[in-house]
Amino acid sequence: MNPLVQPDPGLYIWTIVTFLVLLALLARFAWRPLLDALEARQDVIRKSLDEARQAKEELQRLQVESARILQEARSEAAGIIASTRADAARFGDELRQKARGEAEHLVKNAQREIDNQTARAIQTIRTEAVELSVAIASKILRRDISAADNERLVDDTIREMQTKARN
């Protein structure tokens, strides 16, 4: 029979002792550092997951904050636009009022100028009428005036004066 296949109690004992020594050496020098490395790796992964979760929460918080800020900016912009429109309307009303005032002032000045020109024209007409009357009177006086002509001339003048006084 083959000596390697035969059971030998001494070989069993040495195989078990060698296995236990190898197991002790592996446990002390290989498994412990391997388990420590695995635990360190597990801690790094756990820490990374926590950081990722925190980053996700921070991102969500920032998104909510940016949405709020954007909404505030839109509200503020709408307020500014409304204020600008109100200011523009008020400014337009002020310009219209100013234009109306200036137009009224121009109309008053024009009316005053018309009145002045009318008064000057009437004064000129009166002056010319007086000169014409003096010219007519001097022509009439050059010719012989009868008592009837004189009376009629005085009556016409009085009637004209009364007519002018009524008007």
Residue 9: inside a domain: no
Residue 41: inside a domain: no
Structurally, how many domains does the chain consist of? 1
Residue 58: inside a domain: no
Question: Is 130 within 8 Å of 143 (Cβ atoms)?
Answer: no
Residue 87: inside a domain: yes
Q: What is the DSSP letter of 143?
A: S
Stated length of the chain: 167
Residue 136: inside a domain: yes
CA atoms within 13 A on the CB side of 57: 6
- The end-to-end CA distance of the chain, in Å, is 171
Residue 80: inside a domain: yes
Domain range for 92 is 63-166
pTM of the model: 0.41
Residue type at 7 in one-letter notation: P
Q: How many CB atoms within 10 Å of residue 153? A: 13
Digitized pLDDT (tens) for each residue of the chain, 167 residues in all: 676 677 778 888 998 999 999 999 988 888 888 888 999 999 999 999 999 999 999 999 999 999 999 999 999 999 999 999 999 999 999 999 999 999 999 999 999 999 999 988 887 877 776 666 665 666 666 655 566 666 676 677 777 777 776 76
